[in-house]
Structure 1
Amino acid sequence: MKTSRKTVPLGRLSCVLILFSSATAAADMRLYTASQPHMGTEFTLRTYAPEKEGKAVARAFKKAFARVETLNQICSDYLPESEINQFAKAPVGERIALSADLFNILRQAEGIAADSEGAFDITAGPFVRLWRLSKKNRRLPTEAQIIAARSRSGFHLLSLDPLDRTATKLSEGMLFDLGGIAKGVAADEALGILKESGFPRALVAASGDIVVGDPPPGKPNWTVQIEAVAGINEHLPPIFIHLNKAAVSTSGDTRQYVEIDGNRYSHIVSTHTGLGISEGIAASVIAPSAMLSDAYATTVALLGEKEGLQFIENKREIECRIVALRNGQEVAITSHGFSQFQEEERQEKSALTSP
C-alpha cells in the first residue's frame, strides 16, 4: 500500500544529488516535505510520520528551519553582523568569547585543517574575497594580491582556548570562510531537531549535502542518486548509493564556476595558488555526519584526484567517489569501501525524486 505525501510549497529543491526512496510503507504513514531558502541555497526537510502527527511535523519543521537560520546568522560571511564577521573585526590579540556553536565549528575546522595539512582552511577568507572579485571582473588576481592574502591566512594566526571558549586573532586583516562546513553542520542540526521531535525517519538536503536518519517505513535505507556534473561526469552512467544514518556531500568544479582567459575555475579556492581549482574534479564523500561529508568533499576537491583519494583511504567510516578529467576523458575512481554503499541498478524510482 502506498504512502500519501504532503508537501509544504516553500520552494523547489535544488540539489547536486537527486533523492530516491520507496513509495511503499505502512498505511498510516505519510511523507511530509518542506523547503526554505537558507545559506544561499535551498534546505529541504522530509520525514515519514502518521497522518495524525501533521501539526507536530509542521512544528518540528519550523523549529528545524529556525535552527538553520540561527546558524546562518552565526556563520555567514555575507552578513555584516554575523558572529564570524564580528569576530573578524575584533582587535588583534584580544581574547573574544564565542558562542558554543561558532567555537565548536572552528575547533572542528581546525582539526580538519591539521589533518589535511592546510588544504581545508576556514581562515582563507582573504583568498575567497579576492577570488570573488576576480570572478566578478573576469580577471585573475596579481601575484602581489595573492601574497598579501596568504600573509593574512592560516590557522597559525588563530588561537582557540577550549577552557573559556575564546578565540584570539594573531594578525590584522583576517577573514573567515565557513562555506565548506557550515551547511553540513546546519543539515546535521536540522536532522537532530526532527529526531528529537519524534520523527527519526527523516532526511535533510542542502544543495550538495544530504544527511539521513532512519530509513523510510519498510525499507532498509534511503537511496540517493549522485547527479552528473556538467562538463565532468555527464557521460558516465548514474550512480545510486544507499544510506542509513549517514550523509553524503558532493563538491568540486560543479555549477559554480567561471571562465577566465579560456580556463575554467571553480568557486572553491586553493590557498596554494590563490585561484579557484581548475583540475575538473567532482568528489562525493560518504560520512557519518554532514559536517564531515561537507568538509571532506571540499578537502578532496582541493587535494585533487590522487592525494584526495589517499586522504580518504586513511579515514575510518569515510568513503568517496572522485570523477576527474584525464586528457579530456572522464574517469571515476572510488575508495575501497565505497562499493558497500553503491547499487548497480535501480528498478524503481519513488515519490522522493526531487524536481
Structure 2
Amino acid sequence: MGSNFELGVVHSKKSEAEKLLQIGVQEITRIENLLSEFISTSTTNEINTTARQNPLLINNECFELISRSQNISNLTKGCFDISVSPLKKIYSFKNHFFNFPCHSEIIKTLQSVGYQKIELSKENQSIFFKIDGMKISFSAIGKGYAADKVKQLWINEGVKSGYVNASGDLTTFGSKADGTQWKIGIRHPENKNEILMYVPLNESSVATSGNYEQFFLYNDIKYSHNINPFTGMPISGIKSVSVFSPSAELSDALATAVYVMGKTNGIKFINQLPHTYCIIIDDKNKVYFSKKMHYAESSI
C-alpha cells in the first residue's frame, strides 16, 4: 500500500501483546497481497488485466470493498473514484518540476475513467469494465480498510485499547495505558517537524490527504497527487484535508473526495454527514473547520 504501518495495543502481558501485534502485521500483509495493483498475483491486478474481456468472478471480500467504493462514489457524486488510476499514470509526482501532458492525452485518458463504467453483478459476484483501458486502484481506501480489519481482529481477540497508524492516518479504540484519550497531531504544512494542533480521538479514525509527500511543481504552483476525475487535472489550492469519522475506510475515502470538492463544497458536504468532521488547510495556510468541530476559521 506504499505506507508505513505502526501498530500498538494496550495489554498487561508483553507476550500476548506481541502475538496480537503479529496478527495485525499478518492481516496487513494479507490485504496488501489482495489489493495491491503492483503485485502480479493480486485480485486487483487480475481485475485490471482481464475485467474488460469478460465479466470476472472475484472473491467476496474484494467484491464488497468495490461495492462500498461505488456507494461512496455515488455519495460524493464522483469526487471519490477508484477508476482514476489511468490518469495518475500520465503524471509524475516526484516532488520536482514537471510539464503537463498535452490536452489531447488528458481527454483520451478521461474516456477510461468513471465509476459508472464499472459493472458489478451481485448475482454471480463479478466485475466488468465497460470501456477499454480502465483500471482500478484502492490507493485512496485500502489502508483505511486494512486498519479497520486489524482493529476488528483485535476486538474479536478481546483487546480493549489499541491503535493503527498508517503513515499518519490514525485509527484508535479504547484509551491509552494511562487512561487518557488517544490524539492525533495535525502537521504544520510548512514544517514536517512541527505540529499545528492536536485533536483528541474517541473511538474514531482520521485520514489526511495532502500535497506534502507526492506533488509536482509547474509555473511555481504546487500540484497534489490527487486527480480531479472530472477534468483529469491534478489539484492545487489545498495543502491538506483531514477527515474524522468512526471508520478508517470511510475517512480514507472522504479525505480524497473532499480534496476534489474544494474547501467550500467539501465542508458543506461533511456538515451533512453524522459523526464526521474535517479540517482543511489551503495554499495560503488558512485553516477551515467543519461544523461542531470548531466555530472559527483561522490562519497559521
Q: Tell me, which stretches of 5 or more residues in structure 1 are unaligned?
A: 1-38, 341-355
Displacement of 1:153 after TM fit? 0.9
Contact 1:208 1:251 in 2 (8 A): no
Report the CA distance shift for 1:264/1:93 in structure 2 as closer, same or farther (over 3 A).
Answer: same
**Who is 2:229 aligned against?**
271
Displacement of 1:68 after TM fit? 0.8
TM-score, normalised relative to structure 1: 0.77
Provide the rounded CA distance (Å) in 2 between the counterparts of 1:255 and 1:91: 32
* Cα deviation digits, residues 27-79 of structure 1 (max 9, x gap): xxxxxxxxxxxx212100111111xx222222221121111111111221222
Residue 182 in 1 paired to residue 137 in 2? Answer: no
Contact 1:257 1:265 in 2 (8 A): yes
User: Equivalent residues in 2 for 1:105-116 (5 A)?
Assistant: 105-116=65-76
Report the CA distance shift for 1:220/1:94 in structure 2 as closer, same or farther (over 3 A).
Answer: same
**Who is 1:9 aligned against?**
none
Displacement of 1:338 after TM fit? 1.5
Contact 1:281 1:301 in 2 (8 A): no
Provide the rounded CA distance (Å) in 2 between the counterparts of 1:319 and 1:137: 34
* Cα deviation digits, residues 294-326 of structure 1 (max 9, x gap): 11111111111111111101111111111113x
Displacement of 1:183 after TM fit? 0.7
**Who is 2:2 aligned against?**
40
Displacement of 1:239 after TM fit? 1.6
Provide the rounded CA distance (Å) in 1 between the counterparts of 2:37 and 2:93: 15
Provide the rounded CA distance (Å) in 2 between the counterparts of 1:117 and 1:131: 24
Contact 2:94 2:215 in 1 (8 A): no
Count residues with an aligned counterpart: 295
**Who is 1:337 aligned against?**
292
Partner of 1:131, secondary structure, is: coil
**Who is 1:99 aligned against?**
59
**Who is 1:14 aligned against?**
none
Report the CA distance shift for 1:135/1:146 in structure 2 as closer, same or farther (over 3 A).
Answer: farther
Provide the rounded CA distance (Å) in 1 between the counterparts of 2:228 and 2:122: 29
**Who is 1:258 aligned against?**
216
Residue 238 of structure 1, aligned match among 188, 196, 202: 196
Partner of 1:251, secondary structure, is: strand
Provide the rounded CA distance (Å) in 1 between the counterparts of 2:235 and 2:223: 6
**Who is 1:322 aligned against?**
280
Contact 2:145 2:248 in 1 (8 A): yes
Contact 1:131 1:275 in 2 (8 A): no
Q: Calculate percent identity across the aligned residue pairs.
A: 23
Contact 2:5 2:164 in 1 (8 A): yes
Report the CA distance shift for 1:91/1:238 in structure 2 as closer, same or farther (over 3 A).
Answer: closer
Contact 1:159 1:170 in 2 (8 A): yes
Displacement of 1:119 after TM fit? 1.0
Residue 118 in 1 paired to residue 78 in 2? Answer: yes
Provide the rounded CA distance (Å) in 1 between the counterparts of 2:52 and 2:215: 34
Q: Aligned letter for 1:65?
A: V
Report the CA distance shift for 1:234/1:283 in structure 2 as closer, same or farther (over 3 A).
Answer: farther
Displacement of 1:136 after TM fit? 8.4
Q: Aligned letter for 2:291?
A: H
Provide the rounded CA distance (Å) in 2 between the counterparts of 1:234 and 1:202: 25
**Who is 2:260 aligned against?**
302
Partner of 1:145, secondary structure, is: helix
Q: Tell me, which stretches of 5 or more residues in structure 2 are unaligned?
A: 296-300
**Who is 1:22 aligned against?**
none
Residue 49 in 1 paired to residue 11 in 2? Answer: yes
Contact 1:253 1:277 in 2 (8 A): no
Displacement of 1:103 after TM fit? 1.1
Residue 156 in 1 paired to residue 116 in 2? Answer: yes
Report the CA distance shift for 1:238/1:304 in structure 2 as closer, same or farther (over 3 A).
Answer: same
**Who is 2:249 aligned against?**
291
**Who is 1:213 aligned against?**
173
Contact 1:230 1:255 in 2 (8 A): no
Contact 1:281 1:305 in 2 (8 A): no
Provide the rounded CA distance (Å) in 2 between the counterparts of 1:219 and 1:158: 46
Q: Which runs of 4+ in 1 moved over 3 A?
A: 132-137
* Cα deviation digits, residues 8-33 of structure 1 (max 9, x gap): xxxxxxxxxxxxxxxxxxxxxxxxxx
Return 295-304 or 162-171, whichever deviates more. 162-171
Residue 146 in 1 paired to residue 146 in 2? Answer: no
**Who is 1:352 aligned against?**
none
